[in-house]
Amino acid sequence: MRRTRQELSRAETEAILQNGTTGVLAVHGDDGYPYAVPVNYVYKDGKIYFHGAKAGHKFDAMARNEKVSFCVIARDEVVPDEFADYYKSAVAFGRVRLLEGDEAVRAVYDLGYKYNPDPAKVQAEVAKDAAHAACFAITIDHLTGKQAKGLLPKA
């Protein structure tokens, strides 16, 4: 990271992943174009889990190239009078893989419980839609977090 003073600690960066609700997954798309798409996710045991369709542009891109990046913005406060944006964000670089079997089932439930703590509702939703969804895990190779200069302690 070029601006090392703005770099967040590993713990602060993981807290962004832990507490976020939407991240942006970036893959190598068609014809050399990057493809970035927002996804709901859960961060657990040092990995990022998300679900998607079993076919389509995102699925095909991940099948072609396992390298992805994933960004979560924890704070985004534009301050017009300062011509500034007070932000905190995390970016993970890693490798994605399609989950199968028990690992996929656990990921589906973990995702469900993150967004709805009612076990009965999660179980009903999983029973209804699990067969149509694919679950993925990103193993993180490199993780960075950054904050705006305006959020740094005054020297």
Evaluate whether residue 155 is within a structural domain. Answer: no
Distance of alpha carbon 124 from alpha carbon 116, whole angstroms:
12
CATH number of domain containing 131:
2.30.110.10
Residue 71 lies in a domain: yes
- CB 16 within 8 Å of CB 72: yes
User: Is 154 inside any structural domain?
Assistant: no
Q: Check pLDDT > 90 for residue 136.
A: yes
For residue 133, give its domain range: 4-148
Number of structural domains found in the chain: 1
| More confident: 80 or 13 | 13
| Phi and psi at residue 143, to the nearest 5° | -135, 130
Quick check: is 28 in a domain? yes
Is it the case that residue 28 has pLDDT exceeding 90? yes
User: pLDDT value at position 155?
Assistant: 59
